[in-house]
């Protein structure tokens, strides 16, 4: 079985401050982890993924995420938030060792960046 | 601009109408997906096609009928929908439908469907 949790419905941050959007996961085998962003009236856009290798993954628009196996977490981070980063963020997980081919999405976290 | 194109962007239909949603991708992807998304919720998987064959049907009511005419096109035929079917319908594609593939899904911008 695979599951993913995003514990925060909403994250508020001031422009220029660092931001973190949290994600924890559960899989039987090796996790394939993804972050997507959804802007209003748009589809989901891929930001970054972790499959193997370095625990710090860099993605689009200055975002990065840190894979922590012991804490089963994959938090999304950005050093300096922009108002234009305001959007809905989804974490997704797929069990890379078998099981479902389809990723499971978290419930989403709404990021609001205040000017 | 997204690489997965969905038409129409908006659709309003009555409960007795028949309409179709269309999705097209030219990335050579062999897996295509239909999702339903309610406001501020994660997308819910409806159907998956792999190599133009229906692989997964997540117990979707028969008033939704998917079709994959070729590797680039995916349709969703709608008939006798209910008001609770009003949602954003997203199409997605990915390189393959295989354990060895770890590539992300590419999403279209969706069709916003309203049932009167």
d(Cα A110, Cα A74) in Å, to the nearest integer? 17
Q: What values do phi and psi take at B83, rounded to 5?
A: -55, -35
d(Cα B92, Cα A21) in Å, to the nearest integer? 24
| Neighboring chain A residues of B109 at a CB cutoff of 8 Å | 41-43
**Is B11 within 8 Å of B19 (Cβ atoms)?**
yes
pLDDT in tens, chain A (115 residues): 889 999 999 999 999 999 999 999 999 888 999 999 999 989 999 999 999 889 999 999 999 999 999 999 999 999 999 999 999 999 999 987 766 678 899 999 999 999 9
| Neighboring chain B residues of A107 at a CB cutoff of 8 Å | 41-42
Any CB–CB contact under 8 A between A69 and chain B?
A: no
Distance from CA of B18 to the nearest CA of A (A): 24
C-beta atoms of A101 and B97 within 8 A: yes
Instruction: Kindly write down the DSSP assignment for every residue of B28-95, as one continuous string.
Output: ---EEEEEEE-TTS--EEEEEEETTEEEEE-S--TTEEEEEEETTEEEEEEES--GGG-EEEEEEEES
Nearest residue in chain A measured CA to CA from B35? A43
d(Cα A33, Cα A93) in Å, to the nearest integer? 5
């Amino acid at each position: 079985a695979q599951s993913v949790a995003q514990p925060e419905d909403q994250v508020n941050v001031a422009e220029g401050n660092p931001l973190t959007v949290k994600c924890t996961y559960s899989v039987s085998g090796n996790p394939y982890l993804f972050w997507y962003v959804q802007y209003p009236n748009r589809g989901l856009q891929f930001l970054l993924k972790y499959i193997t290798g370095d625990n710090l993954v860099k993605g689009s628009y200055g975002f990065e995420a840190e894979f922590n196996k012991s804490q089963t977490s994959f938090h999304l981070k950005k050093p300096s938030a922009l108002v234009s980063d305001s959007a809905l963020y989804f974490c997704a997980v797929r069990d890379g060792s078998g099981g479902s081919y389809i990723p499971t999405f978290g419930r989403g976290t709404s990021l609001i960046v205040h000017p | 601009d997204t690489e997965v194109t969905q038409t129409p962007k908006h659709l309003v239909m009555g409960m007795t109408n028949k309409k179709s949603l269309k999705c097209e991708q030219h990335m050579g992807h062999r897996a295509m997906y239909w999702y339903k998304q309610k406001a501020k919720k994660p997308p819910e998987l409806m159907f998956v096609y792999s190599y133009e064959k229906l692989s997964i049907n997540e117990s979707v009511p028969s008033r939704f009928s998917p079709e994959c005419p070729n590797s680039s096109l995916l349709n969703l035929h709608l008939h006798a929908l209910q008001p609770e079917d009003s949602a954003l319908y997203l199409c997605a594609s990915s390189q393959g439908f295989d354990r060895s593939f770890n590539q992300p899904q590419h999403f279209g911008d969706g069709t916003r469907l309203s049932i009167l």
